[in-house]
A and B are shown apart, each in its own frame.
Chain A
Amino acid sequence: MATEQVVVAPLLVALVTAILTLVVHRYVRVQKVVSALGGLAYVGAVAMLIQRVRSGAGSHGVEGVLTYQLSEWGAPFGITLVADDLSAFMLGLTAVVSLLALAFSIQYVDEAGQRVSYHPLYHFMLVGVTGSFLTADIFNLFVWFEVMLMSSYVLVVFYSGPQHTKAALQYVVLNLVGSAFMLLAIGGLYSTTGTLNMADLARRLADPASFGISLVPVLGLSAVLFVVFALKAGIVPFQWWVPAAYRAAPAPVSAMLAGVVKKVGIYAIIRLYFTVFANAAPMDLSLPGVVGESTLAFFGPVLFIMGAASIILGGVAAVNRDNVDDLLAYSSIGQVGFIVIALAFAAGGVVAGWEAPDPYGSVAVLGLAAALVYSLNHALAKAALFLASGAVYESVGSIEFDDLGGIAGRMPLLSTGFFVAALSLVGIPPLLGFFGKFLVFDAAVNAGSNLGIGLALLGAILTIAYVTRAWNRGFWGERSEAVEQATPQYGLFATVLVLAVVALGVGVAFDPVVDAAIDAANAALGTGDYIEAVGLEESLTSGGGGH
């Protein structure tokens, strides 16, 4: 079987770009060109990978799941990369947002910014994100998380003012503690189950007796790991680092953090809890509030409570913020809450020892698809809004609502972009946001959760409230002095507009997207295929792949 180099291509493109931008760091213009070409090549590599996965290519006879053994060490001993529909969906989202945030950065970051390695860091962050989406090894996942975080630490403290340093310090300390917990949980899982490979882990958990595994500690360790992912995703009660970090970071970095890096946490929850831990054999859970015997029966209520709290806290807090970035930061806490309650509905649909459901019918698939579509919408819309906030700052010199007003008349292009992205966040048809919200409601109805429907409604109303307020204070009304004297940055406006148009285009041509999301949801739940595609070897000497 030929090695599918396409699986590792996005990772390598980002890595090579990061290194090249580092090598040419003395030549400011050359670095910009290399960075831009790298961004385009990344999109190309991701497009090739998506095309390959969607056309049904696969490894070990499984359609649509491509695997790749780094260094030619066979699974489960070597590091496996897996590209299936779920990874492809997340990579597609990353490619779009990263390219436009990069286009924004190239115009926005000045020479001094380039001197402190903005471009290499940006691409290393992309390397970390891509690696997290592709890896099928939990320790390797930790490594990619670290690659991503290391770069984001520096990007958050980029402006190096007192408040930026404070925000970054908080962000660094919190994430270091998170990383320590993650390592602890992974070490614990390794000593309990004897493997780090996700496919092997899933296989062993399904048959704990013959591998001598006790499931209860595994559940506990998976809960520790869950806390870390919740921290990355910024879900209540781990949300408090979000506003300061997003406010401190440069606009394109905030766009990447909110649009893409948060989704890595969501992806990790989907991949590990729905693909791996859900495969565990039924266990006796006599915990309050837990109905059922599967791992997800335990995590379902947890996800629901955390999602609900995020929706309420994020929404309410966003309503009375004083500046655009704060509003957007709190809004993204609320929006991730929507994604998480969709996951909670999906978790409720997965019961212990279940069979793969029929593709469109089950609540599990619907909930996951809703979470994914909502993630895509949030990535596009929120990234567009953060870029718009950056463009306002560059043009007007402030993002405080007190200094703004009447931007709509002064800078119609930017306002159009902001307006469309904001509507997509609210969920107005035919924008993507409408389908995202619709699917979440659909999942809630199918899960029979009245409380869920109520929460989603409340969240939607809060979204309308704060988006309207941002629009009224910033874009309509009396034109403020600062806005009157603004120098419009049309290059920056273009990136906002393009992202907004993508959100509109994806909404209009929604069929392929919903198909991709449903396939991704099925891939997340198709543990059997995942295990088979990885092709586990029993010993190091049996030889696999190309030996």
Chain B
Amino acid sequence: MSYGDDTTVIARTVARITLPLVLVVAIALLFQGHNLPGGGFIAGVLTTAAFALVYIVFGMEYVQETIFGDEYEPAGSVAGPLVVDRYRTLFGVGLAIAAGTGLGAMAFGKPFLTHTDEVVKPSTEYVAWIPGADFIFGTLFEFHWATAFVFDIGVYFVVVGGLLAILAVVGGE
């Protein structure tokens, strides 16, 4: 059996093209979220939107059987289809990551949720002979590391897990 028989070719094609774009934008928003517009929440919502597109165009079965390799069962139990269990685990792991970054600060004797950040530039000592090394390695590869980013990843998982669980349960009915 093939998936998405009841949707048009246009819908399926558009979904195939937009899906990677949406996910890339989501990841970009996630990565810049700790000091620019974006962040774990909005990235999570976008990712969920991408999944919603797959749900609508290819159907619930597609996500469950192809992506997760589970048997599809529309009304698994009180708590919804089986796939919801996976989403709930994601939700829990996300919360654990977010809370974990807060607790991590306490290991250094700082108050709960204290964050720190550092701008890391790769050393140009051994590649100084390359023309423009300072620009290439010093500027392009410069990365602003922040522990708040880890927190954002936690938020991202919470939002993705939570919203997908709602989609799966409501969609399953």
Asked if B92 and A22 make an inter-chain contact with CB atoms under 8 angstroms apart, the answer reads yes
Whether a CB of chain B sits under 8 angstroms from the CB of A32 is no
Whether a CB of chain B sits under 8 angstroms from the CB of A69 is yes
Whether a CB of chain A sits under 8 angstroms from the CB of B79 is yes
Write out, one digit per residue, whether chain A residues 19-33 have a CB within 8 A of any chain B CB (1) or not (0).
110110110000000
Known: A12-B103, A19-B96, A23-B89. A116 touches B112 (CB 8 A): no
Q: Which of B87-139 contact A (CB under 8 A)?
A: 88-89, 91-93, 95-96, 99, 103, 106, 109-115
By a CB distance below 8 angstroms, the chain A residues around B109 are: 2-3, 546
Known: A16-B99, A23-B96, A112-B78. A8 touches B88 (CB 8 A): no
Write out, one digit per residue, whether chain A residues 229-271 have a CB within 8 A of any chain B CB (1) or not (0).
0000000000000000000000000000000000000000000
* A81 to B92 CA separation, bound complex (whole angstroms): 26
Asked if B111 and A72 make an inter-chain contact with CB atoms under 8 angstroms apart, the answer reads yes
* A545 to B114 CA separation, bound complex (whole angstroms): 13
Whether a CB of chain B sits under 8 angstroms from the CB of A70 is yes
Asked if A22 and B106 make an inter-chain contact with CB atoms under 8 angstroms apart, the answer reads no
Residue in B77, B93, B112 whose Cβ sees the most chain A Cβ within 10 Å: B112
Choose one: A2, A20, A71; the contact of B114 (CB below 8 Å).
A71
By a CB distance below 8 angstroms, the chain B residues around A545 are: 111
Whether a CB of chain B sits under 8 angstroms from the CB of A485 is no
Question: Chain A: how many interface residues by the 8 Å CB criterion?
Answer: 24
By a CB distance below 8 angstroms, the chain B residues around A70 are: 111-113
Task: Give the distance to chain A from B58, nearest Cβ to Cβ, in Å.
Answer: 27
* A54 to B117 CA separation, bound complex (whole angstroms): 38
Task: Give the distance to chain A from B43, nearest Cβ to Cβ, in Å.
Answer: 21
By a CB distance below 8 angstroms, the chain B residues around A12 are: 99, 103, 112
Asked if A19 and B92 make an inter-chain contact with CB atoms under 8 angstroms apart, the answer reads yes
Whether a CB of chain A sits under 8 angstroms from the CB of B85 is yes
Task: Give the distance to chain B from A34, nearest Cβ to Cβ, in Å.
Answer: 12
Whether a CB of chain B sits under 8 angstroms from the CB of A144 is no
Which residue of A is nearest B96, CB measured?
A: A19
Asked if A22 and B88 make an inter-chain contact with CB atoms under 8 angstroms apart, the answer reads yes
* A116 to B95 CA separation, bound complex (whole angstroms): 18
* A70 to B105 CA separation, bound complex (whole angstroms): 11
Whether a CB of chain B sits under 8 angstroms from the CB of A68 is yes
Asked if B78 and A72 make an inter-chain contact with CB atoms under 8 angstroms apart, the answer reads no
Choose one: B96, B103, B113; the contact of A71 (CB below 8 Å).
B113
Asked if B114 and A72 make an inter-chain contact with CB atoms under 8 angstroms apart, the answer reads yes
Choose one: A8, A26, A112, A546; the contact of B85 (CB below 8 Å).
A26
Choose one: A8, A19, A71, A72; the contact of B95 (CB below 8 Å).
A19
Asked if A3 and B78 make an inter-chain contact with CB atoms under 8 angstroms apart, the answer reads no
Task: Give the distance to chain A from B54, nearest Cβ to Cβ, in Å.
Answer: 25
* A71 to B89 CA separation, bound complex (whole angstroms): 27
Q: List 27 A-B contacts (CB under 8 A).
A: A3-B109, A3-B111, A5-B106, A5-B111, A12-B103, A16-B103, A19-B95, A19-B96, A20-B96, A22-B91, A22-B95, A23-B89, A23-B92, A25-B85, A25-B89, A68-B112, A70-B111, A71-B115, A72-B110, A72-B111, A72-B114, A112-B78, A115-B77, A115-B78, A116-B78, A117-B88, A546-B110
Interface residues of A (CB under 8 A from B): 2-3, 5, 8, 12, 15-16, 19-20, 22-23, 25-26, 68-72, 112, 115-117, 545-546
Interface residues of B (CB under 8 A from A): 77-79, 85, 88-89, 91-93, 95-96, 99, 103, 106, 109-115
